[in-house]
Amino acid sequence: MKDKFKKIDNVKLLTLLNHILEHRLFKPVAISIIVTFILINSLTVAYKIASSYRESVEMKNKLTPIKINISESGFDMDEEQVIDYQVKSGDTLLRILLDLGVVESDVLAILNEMTKVYNPKSISNKDIITINHKIKVGYSRKNEGSDDNIDREVIINSLSIFPSVEKQITISRDSNGAYKAKETILKITKSISRYSGTLNNGLYVDGVRSGISPTAMMNMINLYSYDVDFQRDVKDGDKFEILVESFYTEGGKKVRDGDILFSSLVLQKRPIDIYLHMIDGRKEYFDSKGNSTRKSLLRTPINGARVSSSFGMRRHPVLGYSKMHKGIDFAAASGTPILAAGSGTITYYSPKGGYGNFVQIKHTPEYSTAYGHASRFVKKLKVGSKVKQGDVVAYVGSTGRSTGPHLHFELMFKGQAVNPSKVKATSGLRLAGKALKGFEEVKNRIDKYRKNIPNQFKAQ
């Protein structure tokens, strides 16, 4: 990952967010920063930031002209800026660049040139695109004389994607404004880094400050999402350890982090160790006893919310009489993202009577989950869309029969609502016999690394 991300922290995130607000661009980036905030801060902070983002966007829509001296050709408002954009599922390069504010003719020229060495449609979820651009601001001739005559244009200087660790595709703009594609094969060496220490500022911040890439830290957090509630369970003074593959160029510059080989969180002295092991040709994570860490459903399909009403008989707050409550209610601010409790296919995605805006996801032939009272849906999703565990499927609201913003969450087994808190999150896979022996060899090797590789964690 890029060096400049090494010291990213809240302040940097805020600055970055501000920058994006300043220039009214790159909504996907702003949103992913807000999501990062949700993960590393309290929900309230994240919510405040999200609202201030919305307000600023509204404010910027009533843009006041800036008094600057500009030539005919416009004014370069800023020096070059570099963004590492992480691709989300459903993104296309076309959409990303148009959203950034690049003019259509440039976008088409870039895509056209890229096709010579790489199919732009091959970009996939979590790929990093490094975008070096500048913003030109000038008086628009269209609206001359009016207050609304400021025009802005985003110019891409270069854009790099990394189809594999060794391969870099770069599209650069020459002095005549033409784009040229180039494919570079990098000489890469792999090594294993180890970081171990005490948490002082939260797992994400402490990890990134000691040099682990934000992507690897997010991956580590995801590994624990089945067992750990990062809002409540992780405290200052808790310990962590991580062994991660890192790829370096010939010059010794870190290109990016690879797989997490081992990770440990010691929460109030309770260690949760996770080992990477190949099984049937695919990568899986296991606890120290050889049980897969992958579980079928998330414990809580929302970050940092509290249960406001549990499963069972209760007096209905709106209808007034006693009624079976077939789900769990989570109180959360309106607009809080609702996450898919497990991977699956959307089978309902529209208003449904008292449920208000309603989402249903089928995970297995037996299990589905449902989410009620959403304030709004996600534009690109519909019935039939495939979602992955943790994907945002809607936003908390109070539509339908509801007394205030909350998520009504239901778990269905063979079409019957069951109590989600009673259903044991089933372990995906339990190694035994020969497979367990194979795992133990890997585990011993990793434990040797843990003893022998020097610790690179820098306490803050």
Choose the stretch contacting Zn ion; rule: CB under 5 A; options: 175-183, 200-208, 320-328, 429-437: 320-328
Choose the stretch contacting Zn ion; rule: CB under 5 A; options: 178-186, 264-272, 352-360, 400-408: 400-408
The nearer residue to Zn ion, 61 or 416, going by C-beta atoms, is 416
Choose the stretch contacting Zn ion; rule: CB under 5 A; options: 76-84, 325-333, 334-342, 363-371: 325-333
> Can residue 410 be called a binding residue for Zn ion (CB under 5 A)?
no
The nearer residue to Zn ion, 90 or 351, going by C-beta atoms, is 351
Q: How far is the CB of 309 from Zn ion (least distance, A)?
A: 6
The nearer residue to Zn ion, 262 or 371, going by C-beta atoms, is 371
The nearer residue to Zn ion, 28 or 420, going by C-beta atoms, is 420
Q: Which of 408, 411, 431, 443 binds Zn ion (CB under 5 A)?
A: 408
Tokens encoding 295 = 């579980």
The nearer residue to Zn ion, 97 or 407, going by C-beta atoms, is 407
Q: Which of 238, 241, 273, 329 binds Zn ion (CB under 5 A)?
A: 329
- The closest alpha carbon to 36, from 373, 286, 303, 375, belongs to 303
Q: What are phi and psi of 252, to 5 degrees?
A: 85, 10
Q: How far is the CB of 226 from Zn ion (least distance, A)?
A: 23
Q: In DSSP terms, which residues pair with 192 in a beta bridge?
A: 245
Contacts with Zn ion, 339-378, as mask; x by CB under 5 A:
----------------------------------------
Choose the stretch contacting Zn ion; rule: CB under 5 A; options: 103-111, 116-124, 319-327, 396-404: 319-327
The nearer residue to Zn ion, 408 or 443, going by C-beta atoms, is 408
Residues of the shown chain interacting with Zn ion in the complex, contacts defined by CB under 5 A: 327, 329, 408
